[in-house]
Amino acid sequence: MAALWGGRFTEAADDRFKKFNDSLRFDYRLAKQDIIGSISWSRALEQVNVLSSQEQKSLESALNELAEEVAADPQKILQSDAEDIHSFVESKLIEKVGDLGKKLHTGRSRNDQVATDLKLWCKEQSAELCELIVRLQQALLDVAQREQSTVMPGYTHLQRAQPISFGHWCLAYVEMFDRDLSRMRDTTERLDRCPLGSGALAGTAYPIDRHALARDLGFKQATQNSLDAVSDRDHVVELLADASMSMMHLSRMAEDLIFYNSGEAGFIQLADNVTSGSSLMPQKKNPDSLELIRGKTGRVFGSLSGIMMTLKALPLAYNKDMQEDKEGLFDALDNWGDCLEMMAMVLDGLKTNKPRMLAAAQQGYANATELADYLVSKDIPFREAHHIVGEVVVSAISRQVALEDFTLEQLKEFSSVIESDVYQHLTIDACLAKREVLGGTSLTSVMSALEEQRIDVKKEPVAAEVVGSTTEGQVQNAMGTMQLRINAHKAELLNVRHAKLSDVDDITKIVNYWSDAGETLPRSRFDVLNSILDFSVAVSEDEIVGCASLYIYGTGLAEIRSVGINPEHQGAGQGRALIDHMLLRAQELELERVIVLTRVPDFFAKHGFTELEKELLPEKVIKDCEGCPKKEACDEIAMEFQIQ
């Protein structure tokens, strides 16, 4: 196959150089993205009269045909002797439409082409990886629900420290993976800029509408500088950093489970379908799935280090070094996805040995801190109490007895303030029950944490009282609070609940229906997926009929967004129920106020919202308006609800 750049050269490239230089063996994975980008570029060329309408239709038809062929057998691409995926697509296009195919590259460079292809691929992979993270979180929540009262020892320095529940352990990793999701959202937000139209480095010579081109490809906006656009690989570094951080979490989780599964601990048993045996020792059942997760973590870390070293000190703009951006990225994200899936599979078949876990929690003087707290309650300073309990533990070790097995007379030898009520503080149940603080390991705290993750609308006491010196707005808000609790009772039959991963497509459909009508901002499936924990849905006869999201800015402020009802189900109260649910949710999260930007202020006024000047909205809210097509002629009214 002739090279795309052969005119400048009088001699053919050495076969050894061609093999060294060509990238088709790995960038064939960008075939779909290259075809999608080429279709959009053909439309852009039509807009500037480089292509006629008929020529564009012929090219788009041929490219769609090629896309179907590639999807049916991607490996067939590797049988070509093309230099890279761009030359492969172009050559196949020329085979289909003749010399017309040669016109498609007008005004375009492989530099902006590969940058666009890779960003499109990264966006697609990010969505799939976020979905896998959420699935793993759901698997952890399932185990946490089942094992919320299963007692086990917590460790520091790999020594038994204080008793916790296995459910509490699961929720720790839910938190970790939630941060992973947050990082992925941030990365995706930054990479959502289209480089196509930047040319080789200086921009294209044709008057392409790059903003329209970006929208056609599904990007939020176009890049602003052509030099940066073709040489930017920050998104590769960020995705590898996100993968590395998440793999670190997976590795820590794997190490915990390997230890819990060991004969020395014996806390859990792994299912046969995620373990293997020994070729020599028939009794062995090895946790290979977890050990491979732990091992592959280093491989992902290596990819991050590799791209950082590759990009270090590279001059602007494009350099061939950047061809090294793909193999490490592809390998790292493949392995990250595999590990997320495998860990969810491990959790699915995991069984706990409750008696063994409880026995371990009762050993190792895990209740020593409770004895110290008991002494503090008797007006002994904590440092002195700490010293006293240390002496008790030394004595207990020498006698080989537990703290609760000391007689009262023996305990009084260490402190005269100890009375018979001490024993009720030394039980495992007492140790756990005292940790009722937010984020604690008590059964109440764990159940509350689970509720935070999956809470449906529940009956609330119908009561509200306005006391003291209040403004008219505060009275209205308080009355709104009472009304939303009343409405919550009525809403219960409408089955408003937190959104699940399986609701993503239905939510996206509803949101985009109303965005097409000009009532709300558009949100991609990827955006909905990344924000699924913010959404709640209204369900009628197992059908998603409405949605809304509660976006938290921090410092006690949240915004209700993306409110939409299936037009076939309007007028049945789902909209009211969703707003009530969101406000109750805001109260449970101890938020201070909820805002909304709306064209139907009367609807929100019935819920206790009051109008405020847009200029009073926080800068973060105003910044979010940048992506709105109506930002220069906004007709929305700002309203707020103050939580009482």
Among the ranges given (90-99, 148-157, 303-312, 408-417), the one the predictor scored with the smallest mean pLDDT: 408-417
38 and 89 Cβ atoms separated by less than 8 Å: yes
| Model pLDDT, residue 617 | 75
CATH class of 366-436: mainly alpha
Do the domains 472-642 and 111-200+227-358 match in fold?
A: no
Q: Which token pair is 82?
A: 């093309």
Q: Which token pair is 207?
A: 């008057």
β pairing state of 151-156 and 159-165: antiparallel
Helix (H) or strand (E) holding 351: strand 351-352
| Model pLDDT, residue 482 | 38
**Residue range 435-453: average pLDDT?**
66
Q: How confident is the model at residue 465 (pLDDT cuts 50, 70, 90)?
A: very low
**Residue range 569-577: average pLDDT?**
81
CA distances from 471 to 244, 474, 490, 550 (A): 52, 5, 29, 27
Query: How many angstroms separate the CA atoms of 65 and 71, rounded?
Result: 10
Task: Tell whether the model's pLDDT for residue 253 goes beyond 80.
Answer: yes
pLDDT tens digits, one per residue of 34-90 = 999 999 999 999 999 999 999 999 999 999 999 999 999 999 999 999 999 999 999
**Residue range 137-143: average pLDDT?**
92
pLDDT tens digits, one per residue of 315-342 = 999 999 999 999 999 999 999 999 999 9
Q: Which of 254, 241, 114 is nearest to 173 (CA)?
A: 254
What number does CATH give the domain 472-642? 3.40.630.30
Query: How many angstroms separate the CA atoms of 452 and 489, rounded?
Result: 20
Strand runs labelled E in 451-540 = 496-498, 535-540
| Model pLDDT, residue 484 | 41
| Model pLDDT, residue 110 | 95
Q: Which token pair is 386?
A: 């700490």
| Model pLDDT, residue 485 | 42
| Model pLDDT, residue 563 | 93
* Contacts for 189 with CB less than 8 Å, ≥ 6 apart: 220
How many C-beta neighbours within 10 Å does residue 630 have? 11
* Contacts for 10 with CB less than 8 Å, ≥ 6 apart: none
CATH class of 6-108: mainly alpha
| Model pLDDT, residue 402 | 80
Catalytic option among 53, 157, 279, 416: 157
| Model pLDDT, residue 420 | 82
Residues above pLDDT 90, as percent of the chain: 53
At the second CATH level, the architecture of 111-200+227-358 is Up-down Bundle (1.20)
pLDDT tens digits, one per residue of 595-631 = 998 888 888 888 888 998 877 776 555 555 655 555 5
| Model pLDDT, residue 460 | 30
| Model pLDDT, residue 183 | 94
Q: How confident is the model at residue 445 (pLDDT cuts 50, 70, 90)?
A: low
Q: How confident is the model at residue 634 (pLDDT cuts 50, 70, 90)?
A: low
**Residue range 266-295: average pLDDT?**
90
Task: Tell whether the model's pLDDT for residue 469 goes beyond 50.
Answer: no
**Residue range 416-424: average pLDDT?**
81
User: What residue segments make up the domains of the chain, in order of their start?
Assistant: 6-108, 111-200+227-358, 366-436, 472-642
In three-state form (DSSP H/G/I as H, E/B as E, the rest C), the secondary structure along 542-586 is CEEEEEEEEEEEECCEEEEEEEEECHHHCCCCHHHHHHHHHHHHH
Task: Tell whether the model's pLDDT for residue 642 goes beyond 50.
Answer: yes
373 and 381 Cβ atoms separated by less than 8 Å: no
pLDDT tens digits, one per residue of 188-225 = 999 999 999 999 999 999 999 999 999 999 999 999 99
| Model pLDDT, residue 474 | 37
Q: How confident is the model at residue 150 (pLDDT cuts 50, 70, 90)?
A: very high
| Model pLDDT, residue 120 | 96
Q: Is 262 a catalytic residue?
A: no
Report the sign of the C-alpha dihedral through residues 131, 132, 138, 144, in that order. Answer: negative
| Model pLDDT, residue 622 | 54
Catalytic option among 52, 182, 276, 278: 278
**Residue range 268-285: average pLDDT?**
86
Task: Tell whether the model's pLDDT for residue 454 goes beyond 60.
Answer: no
pLDDT tens digits, one per residue of 529-566 = 888 989 999 998 888 999 999 998 867 889 999 999 99
Q: What is the DSSP letter of 101?
A: G
Task: Tell whether the model's pLDDT for residue 395 goes beyond 60.
Answer: yes
**Residue range 160-178: average pLDDT?**
91
Q: How confident is the model at residue 452 (pLDDT cuts 50, 70, 90)?
A: low
β pairing state of 221-222 and 193-194: parallel
Among the ranges given (340-349, 423-432, 502-511), the one the predictor scored with the smallest mean pLDDT: 423-432
Among the ranges given (13-27, 161-175, 408-422), the one the predictor scored with the smallest mean pLDDT: 408-422
Q: Is 157 a catalytic residue?
A: yes
